[in-house]
């Protein structure tokens, strides 16, 4: 038997540095960039979540950048109408989001 530390693969449970109070902690806890994940969450769960957040931020930035091009070139809206159009669309978006928060939240609670 060797006294050398075992080589751990990326995302594998790291070496334990806890005190005796944490001896009952579950063994399947993973770490990502030094942050311990909650029991039951794997490294791939965190990486997929971060990838989805990265794509969403890029999509939202693209939509706001593309909006002026869409209004000017494809819809040919005059400059005086664009402000009212954008504000009406944003208002409708907010109403839709506020109207769907409670039902979708309740559905998420029911489904799990």
Per-state percent for the chain, helix, strand, coil, to nearest 5 = 60, 5, 35
pLDDT of residue 63: 83
CA atoms of 17 and 35, how far apart (whole Å): 14
Look at strands 31-32 and 35-36 and give their pairing: antiparallel
Average pLDDT, the chain: 81
Reported as half-sphere exposure (CB side, CA atoms, 13 A), residue 28 has a value of: 4
Beta bridge partners of 35: 32
The Cα–Cα gap between 62 and 83 comes to 19
The mean pLDDT of 40-68, rounded to a whole number, is 88
Evaluate if pTM is beyond 0.85.
no
Q: Tens digit of pLDDT for each residue in 61-86?
A: 888 888 888 888 998 989 889 889 88
- Please determine, for residue 25, whether its predicted confidence score (pLDDT) is greater than 90: no
Q: Which two tokens stand for residue 41?
A: 């969450």
Give the span between the Cα atoms of 38 and 48, in whole angstroms. 15
Measured CA to CA, the distance from residue 10 to residue 87 in angstroms comes to 47
């Amino acid at each position: 038997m060797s006294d050398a530390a075992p080589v751990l693969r990326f995302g594998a449970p790291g070496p334990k540095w806890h005190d005796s109070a944490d001896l009952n902690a579950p063994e399947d806890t993973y770490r990502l960039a030094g942050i311990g994940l909650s029991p039951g969450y794997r490294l791939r769960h965190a990486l997929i979540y971060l990838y989805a957040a990265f794509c969403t931020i890029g999509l939202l930035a693209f939509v706001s950048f593309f909006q002026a091009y869409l209004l000017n070139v494809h819809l040919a809206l005059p400059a005086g109408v664009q402000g009212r159009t954008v504000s009406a669309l944003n208002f409708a978006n907010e109403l839709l989001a506020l109207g769907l928060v409670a039902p979708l939240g309740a559905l998420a609670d029911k489904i799990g």
